[in-house]
Structure 1
Amino acid sequence: MTSWQTAIATCHQAAEGFVVVTLLQAKGSTPRDGGSKIVVTQTKTFDSIGGGGLEHLVITRARDLLAQGVPVQCVEHFPLAGKANQCCGGSVSALFETFPESKRSVVVFGAGHVGKAVVQVLSECDARIDWVDARAEQFPEVIPGNVQRLVLDQPEMLIETLRGDAIVLILTHDHALDYRLLRRLLDETELSSIGMIGSQTKSNRFRARLRRDGIPEEEDARWRCPVGLPEVGGKLPMEVAISIAAEVLSQSLPLDGGEMVGASWKSVQAVLGKP
């Protein structure tokens, strides 16, 4: 059986939503003591709080909370002879802590030195990453769980499938491909966060070319070149990657409801005071 500690690490690495349920208090005869934990995702469970009707109720409630898509903390009471239909006769109070699936979607075009470094940094953060290149040999053998490797002969074909809130990074080795990607992104999507590696000279040339190709000047607000926070200096691949990742992480997450809704101490006291 996978322990709850290992499960949390695995879910974080895969950017998969999960709920940690902790038995805060066990009164009378119960399957497990206070402090026992179970980790619940929409399709799997890890560790156990004793099985039976109680565990079924807890898993169902955890998945209902996870489906809301926002971070929540709450405490609930379960009399085993009532809600759980178990003959133990005791009762438990459980803390539910939800950690929804990452809302930050990042698409990285290019698996060169900078692309590898950017993915290395962002894969350790709260993000789901699509990593695209036509050269299969450019990808490392081991890919983090929250990264999807996509080998596409025509990387621009991915554009029509992108989420409307995706953050796109164009980090390829080919200026012609960079321009094709940029033009299609501006022409076919409403994406507002498109970053491209390159110099100010490259940026100026691409802007002039976009004008000639009929892309209006107001569309320039949707893309940046050079991408990255200017105050983060350095030209080595990892230094550039840190600058780019810092810019990505500085952008607001599209969270419905914002920060975690915590359980108030008053509500916890009320639940723990139940027989």
Structure 2
Amino acid sequence: MSWISALADLQQQGQPCVLVTIIEELGSTPRNAGSKMVVTADRIFETVGGGHLEFKAMELAREMLASRTQDTRLERFSLGASLGQCCGGATVLLFEPMGQPQAHIAVFGAGHVGRALVPLLASLPCKVRWIDSRENEFPEHIPHGATKVVNEEVVDEVENMPPGSYYIVMTHNHQLDLELTAAILKRNDFAYYGLIGSQTKRVKFEHRLRDRGFSPELMQKMRCPMGIAEVKGKLPVEIAISIAGEVIATYNANFGQGEKSGESVAKLMPASRRAKA
């Protein structure tokens, strides 16, 4: 596949990549200026010359993908002994991140708040899995950008999310909420975990989770009550807007800054609320 076709396909899929371009050639080089290569986390398309130069270019591009940086980068490579290539010239490569980073979000529960929240999340640069065991709770039309998942074993869906995912739990059953919470905390690789409910619910859950061996430090990463405190109201759409705002604040802080799970949203919250969480 040509680099331009690959780039178009990847952008349509919402998969981030780095476009690597030779912008300058000095002396003898394996490929001419203007040659391009597209690098994803696990694939490459086209070539900038092969050999150790290409290996180093792939390595640098994947470091950029892992850090989710959106900054372009210029690098000069001498094609001599240091790279194990005998061309003897030099080349300058431009690295351009392509594709907006996307948050992977699992929303558990298709109740009133879930039906108000998912359309908001689906309109953002997010991939949403909307999960419930009750198919009749889902609306007839699922928003573009969201995938309906009907599974009797709802907790099993926690393992189907990639590392760094966002989890929002708002099911119809407190015991199910507790089991989902335990599964998510056990993974401990989430960017955000929000549980719908009051401070009283949080205290009860923390007590039960302590009995299961979960540490207080780990439970601090759970947002409950979740959402932006300044957004008042109890209507489903008001609650949904509050939760969506907290999710947006989290991924804006996470992408490109290397924050670890749960830390960035805590920093964004008022000190008074952090003390209660």
TM tier relative to shorter chain: 0.5 to 0.7
- Give 1:159-178 correspondences, 5 Å limit: 159=158, 166-172=165-171, 174=172, 176=173
Residue 40 (structure 2) aligns with: 41
Residue 254 (structure 2) aligns with: 253
Q: TM-score, normalised by structure 1?
A: 0.58
**Which amino acid letter does the alignment assign opposite residue 242 of structure 1?**
I
2:16 aligned with 1:21: no
Residue 151 (structure 2) aligns with: 152
Number of aligned pairs?
A: 236
* Structure 2 CA distance for partners of 1:113 and 1:22, relative to 1, 3 Å: farther
Q: Distance in 2 between matches of 1:90 and 1:254?
A: 37
Structure exhibiting the larger radius of gyration computed from Cα positions: 1
Residue 9 (structure 1) aligns with: 11
Please state which structure has a larger fraction of its residues in helix: 2
Q: TM-score, normalised by structure 2?
A: 0.58
* Structure 2 CA distance for partners of 1:156 and 1:19, relative to 1, 3 Å: same
- Give 1:27-176 correspondences, 5 Å limit: 32-34=32-34, 37-46=36-45, 48=46, 51=47, 54=49, 59-68=54-63, 69-70=66-67, 71=69, 73-77=73-77, 92-97=91-96, 106-112=105-111, 114-115=113-114, 118-123=117-122, 129-136=128-135, 138=138, 140=141, 144=145, 149-159=148-158, 166-172=165-171, 174=172, 176=173
Q: Distance in 1 between matches of 2:92 and 2:12?
A: 26
* Structure 2 CA distance for partners of 1:236 and 1:40, relative to 1, 3 Å: farther
The question of whether the paired residues in 2 share the 8 Å contact of 1:17 and 1:66 is answered with no
Percent of counterpart pairs with the same letter?
27
Residue 266 (structure 1) aligns with: none
How big is the alpha-carbon RMSD for the aligned residues of Structure 1 and Structure 2? 4.8
Structure 1: state its 5+ residue gaps: 259-275
Q: Distance in 2 between matches of 1:64 and 1:79?
A: 17
Q: Relative contact order (C-alpha < 8 Å, sep 6+): which is higher?
A: 1
Structure 2: state its 5+ residue gaps: 260-277
The question of whether the paired residues in 1 share the 8 Å contact of 2:23 and 2:93 is answered with yes
